[in-house]
């Protein structure tokens, strides 16, 4: 674990955050880190592939939430 003046860095906070997001969304989304970006791919469906790309976990989680709302463009 890397500490910066007694505070946790974003890298240290991500593992527990990833675990929470996987627990909540892992049944429906395959979530992975690709370099500096996060990617969530909706579990295979017979008719479409749905991929979300985000710069950070907050943005990725927000996009997953929005995509599951009834008003999200399909």
Instruction: Give residue-wise pLDDT tens across range 2-50.
Output: 333 444 444 455 668 889 999 999 898 989 998 899 999 988 766 778 8
pTM of the model: 0.63
Q: Output the pLDDT for position 67.
A: 87
* Secondary structure of 3-33 as H, E, C letters: EECCEECHHHHHHHHHHHHHHHHCCCEEEEE
Q: Output the pLDDT for position 5.
A: 44
Q: Quote the longest CA-to-CA distance of the chain.
A: 50
- For residue 11, give every residue at least 6 positions away whose Cβ sits within 8 Å of its Cβ, in sequence order, or none: 2
With a cut of 90, say whether residue 61 has pLDDT above it: yes
β-bridge partners, 40: 31, 52
* Distance from C-alpha of 32 to C-alpha of 73, rounded to nearest angstrom: 23
């Amino acid at each position: 674990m890397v500490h910066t003046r007694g505070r946790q860095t974003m890298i240290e906070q991500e593992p527990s955050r990833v675990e929470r997001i996987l627990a909540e969304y892992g049944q429906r989304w395959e979530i992975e880190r690709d370099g500096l970006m996060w990617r969530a791919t909706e579990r295979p469906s017979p008719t479409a592939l749905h991929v979300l790309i985000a710069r950070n976990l907050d943005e990725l989680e927000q996009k997953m939430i929005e995509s599951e709302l009834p008003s999200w463009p399909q």
